[in-house]
A and B are shown apart, each in its own frame.
Chain A
Amino acid sequence: MEMSKELTLHINGQTYEFTIGRKLGQIPESETLLETLRERLGLTGTKLSCGEGACGCCAVLMDGKAVASCVTLTAECGGKEITTIEGLADPVTGELDPIQEAFLEHNAFQCGFCTPGIIIAVKSLLNANPHPTEDEIKEALSGNFCRCISHYQVIEAVQSIVKGGEQA
């Protein structure tokens, strides 16, 4: 008989208890974090685009660092702190993260499909480097593809936070 393994996920400040296995309701070993977020938890702000870790649309924070959830297995996320785009705003006051506020202020999106992943990548960058140069911003976002060409407004938005001296 197949053994069930327990899996505890910490996502956006909530704790979720799952078991890994092949029975109904269990998380198979092959399930990606993206599938768990979107299909089990209804966190559809994280988007599927390329499905192979190339485009950045599915980025989430794992212990503060951006990872591609489409190529991350949920079974390997036990004990990690996962934050999705839905978890950036203050859960009590609803106050937006300064990055989200800057994206609104600078209209740093068009179709908006790649925007959650870009915001997560910016958060990851600012966690590691609160005062990046323009080149460091561009380099850090080079794994996030945007087809509408909102890049210029995104860079402006990120620079506004850095210049504003706010710790994101």
Chain B
Amino acid sequence: MSEFRHIGKVRRRQDGRAIVTGKALYCDDLPIKNCYVAKVLHSPYPHAEIVSIDTSEAEKLPGVCGVMTYKNAPDWKTGVPAHRPVMSQHLRFVGDPVAAVAAENAQIAEQALELIRVEYRQLPPVYDVEDAIKPGAPEVYRAEDNIESKGYHYERNCLPPGSWFEGNDPPFYKIQDGDVEQGFAESDVVVEGKVAYTWTFPGAPESPFVAAGWDDDTHVNVWASSQGPNMVCRPLAYTIGAHINVTTPNVGGSYGNKDALGYITMLTVALAKVTGVTVKYALTKEEHLLFYERRLDNKFIGKIGITKDGRIKALQGDWLVGTGAGSELTQGQVAEGLGELHIALNKCPNWDIEAKVVVSNKIPVGIARGFGGQELKACALHLLTRALRQIDMDPVTFYKKNFCQAGDEYYWRTGHKYSNPVINYDKCFDVAAEKFRWFDRWKGWGVPSRVEGNKAYGVGFSLHSSGDPQSDETFAYVRLENDQVMVHCAVSQFGNGQRLALAKIAAEILNVPLENVTINSSDTRTDPADFGAAGSRETITAGGAVGSAAKAARQKLLEEAAEKMGCSAEDLDTKDLMVFRKDDPSVCLPWIAICPMYYSITGEGVVKGDFNHNNCVMNFVEVEVDLETGLAKITDALSASDVGRIINPLELKMQFEGGLGSAGMDTGHLEEMVLDPVIGRVMTHNMIDYKWRPFNELPKFDTAVLESVWPTANPYGAIGIGEITGAAGPAAVLMAIENAIGGAEINEYPATPDKILNALGKAKGGLVE
């Protein structure tokens, strides 16, 4: 779009040179003075009680500053609702912290861990969501843990529904609309079944890191590898009754998973309090895989009715959500997952779906992109394919009929309905399907697109839409000083190019070169409040807040210039650090004459947020299945959206490509955590055994990006899509695999070779039940 100077143009990221020369500082690179090192002793058992613990030898070791166990840890709890203590005598998964040591260096801390003597009493574990809710199942929490929210109590391994997402309103954990029995009666086809989505690791190359030190009894300094510094400090500050300052330098990948860092921040802040020193806890990669928060797993057991012409009439089901030994915000994921299903199947009039958040002796669940909807839809929409097969309608045609359009109402995370009056994705279906050659490649349900020897190819489609892109509050301010523009907005650098987008917006509005704009390092000491990078929201919210702040600063600049120039601000404009009369540009004044050496002009901006702007990403995939070995690969992928105005073209393309990784699209057939059911330990606790996509396994990847100007709070009409680019992926991949293999059914993710060969009747495998 040529009308802009920076918006929509390819620009080098301002931090790029530091990244390619190794000078960019990530958390563990920071010189934090007088900082002790934390190491944690983890439970070797999935479910146990500490009978006795003796830390005296560890405490005597020279260089050890202190040891924390359940006996001396502060009485704080994190999670939704508060349930996960700093340390507990009751250990709930392999990896649950038993003790934490602060020492002068890592070697001494590790030596100290070996000197701690613990006697455990093992308890029977439970792992599966269906097993955990059966009568007589081992209890992961107990009545005396007093887990309560909004009048609901923990009961038989189910956490209370609801989260702070609903405010004081009732919990949003079910959709009951219309009359499903009548809907099924009006349907031509009714299908029933169960689909399971496995547990996966959305983690980043940089393992989570937190350092903490107390200034005094009421002030804590925290350094955190977080994509959302305010998410780190604000809920925890409320819990512990102290003010927390958070610094977030460069973050080595996050994907939603290093947002709140809730438990490990609480643990580190507690250890700093107990020992009285500044302490850093840099998780090893094994700890990252073994005990850090993972993506939720779930099962959908349901029933769906549709008519011959592809109108969905009724959806009923139990959504069993596995949250492992803890929930950072799983109930929030339930609320958004329900909303995302409701947007996708928006034309369905009759709903009866209810979620249960089930605890078990697996690793606790944290935050990950896709946030509930990816996991629910991977299951519910896969069940739906059984019905589409019977009416012989392809999924693109079906979803175009049933997806939420402008003006339709959809549920979002508060449990209330919202509506987006303008944004429509109808055209996106058509453009993307044509670019992918969908209707050429689609040969019908259970029919491969082509077969070449042992290789069969199939195509699949799914889509995702979230109500979050304009959610919640973001504040910003912009300072003009001399010839410089300083932007304050708590947006971390974690790879998405958002800081470049903010620099462009400020530079565009103030009409200055990009080089004159500095984005302040993300720090809650100097940046105003912000909900954080989540739900693709910062394109609109941070973009809008910074845009308003830049406009306000510009207005003040012109007003102060007008006084000096003896005219009115309306007569003036600014470009390249000069203010000039519109009717006679030769009458001008440089910025440095308006804001000289020790002078600031400050503008403030805010976006308060709503849920009336839903984004959308469509995933088209082709897979190749080796019919002899059962190995499935994605060979061709196309992701599509209408993103409003494009701000960063290259970064946008890379956000789409990023949907493959971080436990997104690749959870359809590749990524999976594997549990040893005998010892209850994750076997995939290193980067060889947990499979990631490497450089020599890349599919062809294309995008179809439509550009409109949507009426969002972004000053240029953009809408963010980063969170959801892979969320519909697994459902599309599994659909494509079933088509490639001739329609044999697979009801469990991921479709690894053993499951594919099983479905083909070529092998019997897996662990005996």
Q: Determine, out of A2-10, A72-80, A136-144, A160-168, the stretch whose residues face the partner at the interface.
A: A136-144
Cβ-defined contact, A138 with B698, below 8 A: yes
B763 close to chain A: CB less than 8 A: no
B696 close to chain A: CB less than 8 A: yes
Residues of A within 8 A of B651 (CB): 107, 110
Residues of A within 8 A of B207 (CB): 49
Q: Quote the shortest CB–CB distance from A35 to chain B (angstroms).
A: 9
Q: Which residue of A lies closest to B651 (CB)?
A: A107
Interface residues of A in 125-167 (CB under 8 A from B): 135, 137-139, 141-155
Cβ-defined contact, B662 with A86, below 8 A: no
Cβ-defined contact, B25 with A47, below 8 A: no
Q: Quote the shortest CB–CB distance from B404 to chain A (angstroms).
A: 28
B255 close to chain A: CB less than 8 A: yes
Given the known A-B contacts A145-B205, A149-B658, A152-B698, are A112 and B687 also in contact in the complex, defined by CB atoms under 8 Å? no
Given the known A-B contacts A54-B687, A153-B650, are A85 and B21 also in contact in the complex, defined by CB atoms under 8 Å? yes
Q: How far is the CA of A144 from the CA of B207 in the complex (A)?
A: 16
Given the known A-B contacts A54-B687, A111-B495, A113-B205, are A84 and B22 also in contact in the complex, defined by CB atoms under 8 Å? yes
Cβ-defined contact, B654 with A153, below 8 A: yes
Q: Quote the shortest CB–CB distance from B211 to chain A (angstroms).
A: 15
Cβ-defined contact, B13 with A107, below 8 A: yes
Q: How far is the CA of A143 from the CA of B695 in the complex (A)?
A: 8
Q: Which residue of A lies closest to B26 (CB)?
A: A113
Interface residues of B in 471-525 (CB under 8 A from A): 493-497
Cβ-defined contact, A139 with B696, below 8 A: yes
Cβ-defined contact, A45 with B23, below 8 A: yes
Cβ-defined contact, A138 with B696, below 8 A: yes
Q: How far is the CA of A106 from the CA of B23 in the complex (A)?
A: 19
Q: How far is the CA of A105 from the CA of B495 in the complex (A)?
A: 16
B694 close to chain A: CB less than 8 A: yes
Cβ-defined contact, A47 with B205, below 8 A: yes
Cβ-defined contact, B253 with A148, below 8 A: yes
Chain A CB count within 10 A is highest, among B493, B694, B698, for B694
A119 close to chain B: CB less than 8 A: yes
Chain B CB count within 10 A is highest, among A48, A57, A88, A151, for A151
Other-chain contact of B252, A38, A47, A144 (Cβ < 8 Å): A47
Residues of A within 8 A of B397 (CB): none
Q: Which residue of A lies closest to B30 (CB)?
A: A44
Q: Which residue of A lies closest to B18 (CB)?
A: A112
Residues of B within 8 A of A151 (CB): 657, 695, 698
Interface residues of A in 86-100 (CB under 8 A from B): 86, 88-89, 96, 100
Cβ-defined contact, A104 with B17, below 8 A: yes
Q: Which residue of A lies closest to B29 (CB)?
A: A44
* Chain B 1-31: CB-based contact to A (< 8 A → 1; otherwise 0): 0000000001011011101111111101100
Interface residues of B in 686-742 (CB under 8 A from A): 686-688, 692-698, 701
Interface residues of B in 57-110 (CB under 8 A from A): none
Cβ-defined contact, B495 with A112, below 8 A: yes
Residues of B within 8 A of A47 (CB): 26, 205-206, 252
Residues of B within 8 A of A146 (CB): 205, 661, 695
Q: How far is the CA of A147 from the CA of B694 in the complex (A)?
A: 9
Cβ-defined contact, B688 with A86, below 8 A: no
B660 close to chain A: CB less than 8 A: yes
Q: Which residue of A lies closest to B203 (CB)?
A: A147
Given the known A-B contacts A103-B20, A110-B658, A116-B22, are A142 and B696 also in contact in the complex, defined by CB atoms under 8 Å? yes
Residues of A within 8 A of B286 (CB): 51
Residues of B within 8 A of A103 (CB): 16, 20
Given the known A-B contacts A50-B285, A113-B204, are A147 and B662 also in contact in the complex, defined by CB atoms under 8 Å? yes
Q: Quote the shortest CB–CB distance from B22 to chain A (angstroms).
A: 2
Cβ-defined contact, B698 with A104, below 8 A: no
Cβ-defined contact, A138 with B13, below 8 A: no
Q: Quote the shortest CB–CB distance from A36 to chain B (angstroms).
A: 14
Cβ-defined contact, B20 with A51, below 8 A: no
B251 close to chain A: CB less than 8 A: yes
Q: How far is the CA of A107 from the CA of B9 in the complex (A)?
A: 13
Other-chain contact of A148, B28, B284, B658, B695 (Cβ < 8 Å): B658
* Chain B 385-426: CB-based contact to A (< 8 A → 1; otherwise 0): 000000000000000000000000000000000000000000
Q: How far is the CA of A112 from the CA of B500 in the complex (A)?
A: 14
Cβ-defined contact, B687 with A145, below 8 A: yes
Q: Quote the shortest CB–CB distance from A27 to chain B (angstroms).
A: 13
Cβ-defined contact, B205 with A55, below 8 A: yes
Cβ-defined contact, B204 with A147, below 8 A: yes
Q: Which residue of A lies closest to B656 (CB)?
A: A149
B163 close to chain A: CB less than 8 A: no
Q: How far is the CA of A43 from the CA of B25 in the complex (A)?
A: 11
Cβ-defined contact, B22 with A113, below 8 A: no
Residues of B within 8 A of A148 (CB): 253, 495, 654, 658, 661-662
Cβ-defined contact, A115 with B687, below 8 A: no
Other-chain contact of A141, B20, B497, B695 (Cβ < 8 Å): B695
Q: How far is the CA of A96 from the CA of B13 in the complex (A)?
A: 16
Given the known A-B contacts A51-B284, A55-B205, A113-B206, are A145 and B22 also in contact in the complex, defined by CB atoms under 8 Å? no
Residues of B within 8 A of A112 (CB): 15, 19, 24, 250, 252, 493, 495
Cβ-defined contact, B686 with A52, below 8 A: yes
Chain A CB count within 10 A is highest, among B12, B29, B205, B207, for B205
Given the known A-B contacts A47-B26, A138-B696, A149-B658, are A111 and B20 also in contact in the complex, defined by CB atoms under 8 Å? no
Residues of B within 8 A of A155 (CB): 695, 698
Residues of A within 8 A of B204 (CB): 111, 113, 147
Cβ-defined contact, A142 with B654, below 8 A: no
Cβ-defined contact, A45 with B21, below 8 A: yes
Q: How far is the CA of A135 from the CA of B696 in the complex (A)?
A: 8
Cβ-defined contact, B695 with A109, below 8 A: no
Cβ-defined contact, A138 with B26, below 8 A: no
A46 close to chain B: CB less than 8 A: yes
Q: Which residue of A lies closest to B254 (CB)?
A: A111
Cβ-defined contact, B252 with A152, below 8 A: no
Q: Which residue of A lies closest to B12 (CB)?
A: A104
A114 close to chain B: CB less than 8 A: yes
Interface residues of A in 13-27 (CB under 8 A from B): none
Q: How far is the CA of A134 from the CA of B661 in the complex (A)?
A: 21
Other-chain contact of A111, B203, B250, B284, B686 (Cβ < 8 Å): B250
Cβ-defined contact, A152 with B701, below 8 A: yes
Cβ-defined contact, B205 with A49, below 8 A: yes
Cβ-defined contact, A145 with B20, below 8 A: no
Residues of A within 8 A of B206 (CB): 47, 49, 111, 113
Nearest 8 A/B pairs, CB to CB: A45-B22, A113-B252, A111-B495, A110-B495, A85-B22, A112-B19, A44-B29, A141-B695
Chain A positions within 8 Å of B, measured between CB atoms, are 38, 43-52, 54-55, 57, 84-86, 88-89, 96, 100, 103-105, 107, 109-116, 119, 135, 137-139, 141-155
> Mind listing 9 A-B residue pairs with CB under 8 Å?
A46-B22, A47-B26, A100-B20, A105-B12, A145-B692, A146-B695, A147-B253, A147-B692, A153-B654
